[in-house]
Amino acid sequence: MEELDTTQLLTAFNLLTRRMLGEARNARWDDMLADQQVWLTLQDELRDIQWENYSPEQRDVLKTLLVDTQQAIDELTALCAVWRPQLAAMLNGLHNSSRLRSAYRV
């Protein structure tokens, strides 16, 4: 990955997080999960911000990006937590269906 400066990296991370949140809100879980690898790659690139290297205006931009991204992550986490029981029930139903087919096979 081409090295990005902190503002570019946080902007890309924020945009992808917001896109994943939109996908989760619309129950497009496959799309959201497809974005996960890029999200993890961007997350791995995040480093401590050397605040003293930025002007007050740039600091405000970075703070806004951080707060907005964290809010999106919090909502995304909550949506995923709500979805987990549905997935577990679906997987349990598939497992039980498979067991029934196996039990009544001739």
Residue boundaries of the structural domains of the chain: 6-103
pLDDT tens readout for residues 23-45: 999 989 889 888 999 999 999 99
- The stretch 14-20 carries a mean pLDDT of 98
Tokens at residue 84, please?
A: 């987990």
pLDDT single digits (tens) 62-89: 999 999 999 999 999 999 888 777 766 6
CATH number of 6-103: 1.20.58.380
pLDDT at 1: 43
Apex 31 CA angle, 27 and 33, nearest 5: 95
